[in-house]
Each structure stands twice: as C-alpha cells, then as structure tokens.
Amino acid sequence: MDPERGRPLQIPLAVGLPEATAAAVALRAVLPPDVTAIGGHRRLTVLRLLSDTELDQLRPAVESLIASFRGMARVLVAALAQGAVGAEWLVHEHGEHCRFENAVSGVVVEACVDRPEELDPYFLLEFARTDAAHRVVAEACVEGFHDMCRVLNVFG
C-alpha cells in the first residue's frame, strides 16, 4: 500500500462509518508519518502526505508563513477589539473565530479572537492559498488540510 502524492488510494469496505473510522485509526498507528488513513462511509482512503525531505525543504517558507499569519492575526484581532479594523477588511465574526478578508488583495485571515496566535490547519492553509507570498506552501499541500496537519505536527 503505497499511494502517490495527489492520488488517494480508495479501499471499498462493506462496513459503515464507525467501523471504517476505527479501521483508519488502527491503520494510522502503524503507517509511517507521511501516510494517513481516513475512514468514510463504506470506504477507507489512504493519502501520501509531505515527506520529511519535502518538509525540510519547505522549512523556511513554513516558518515565514506561520510568522506572517500570527502577526496578521494579532493585528487584526486587536483592531477588532478596538473597533478599528480598516475599511478594506470584510469582517465575519462567528463564535470564537473571526474571518477577515481583504477586499483588495483577497487575503483571508481566520483567527480565534481569544487566541490569535493559535494555528488551525484549515485557517493556515486558506491564508497560504490567498497570500501570494506563501503560495509555495499552499502548492506543496497537495492533500490540502491533511498535508497542513502534517506541517503543523512538525513545525507548529
């Protein structure tokens, strides 16, 4: 079982979601760190994630991405608390999170208003995809959220 990057291995199962999820958890326990398994209804999906070598090559770009995200999140959350978010930012508060979208550049920063330095893989990936300065990380995350989870497990 050796899936290629960007080509998930789909394994049909004759079981429901709880059993498939349990199988995925058991499989992840024995897979190398750059492979993951996800249980779904009547299927198991196996993904090849970023390798250690790829992560080593991405290190400077990931460190820049994390620093940039945290800096912008802190500034935007502080501005929100002071009622001083710039007019170029569209603001959507939802629960403990707030989505800031720059109407000019398209950059999206979604942050926890109580802990703006917190790194969420989905939010960080969306930021990387919308900020051209961090496109190299976004493009390396072929498996999207799952690759970004691996990035954060290593660098976060």
Domain check: are 39 and 80 in the same one?
Answer: no
Domain contains 132:
yes
Q: For residue range 2-51, list pLDDT tens digits in order.
A: 678 889 999 999 999 999 999 999 999 999 999 999 999 899 999 999 99
Nearest to 45 by CA among 82, 17, 74: 17
Domain contains 2:
no
Domain check: are 63 and 135 in the same one?
Answer: yes
CA distance 50 to 54: 6
Domain check: are 109 and 125 in the same one?
Answer: yes
CA angle 132, 135, 138 (to 5 degrees): 140
- Give the full edge-to-edge strand order of the sheet including 108-112: 89-94, 97-102, 108-112
Domain contains 4:
no
CA distance 54 to 12: 30
C-beta of residue 36 within 8 angstroms of C-beta of residue 28: yes
Helix (H, G, I), strand (E, B) or coil at 85: coil
Q: For residue range 43-96, list pLDDT tens digits in order.
A: 999 999 999 999 999 999 999 999 999 999 999 999 999 999 999 999 999 999
Domain check: are 24 and 60 in the same one?
Answer: no
The residue segments making up the domain with residue 122 are 52-155
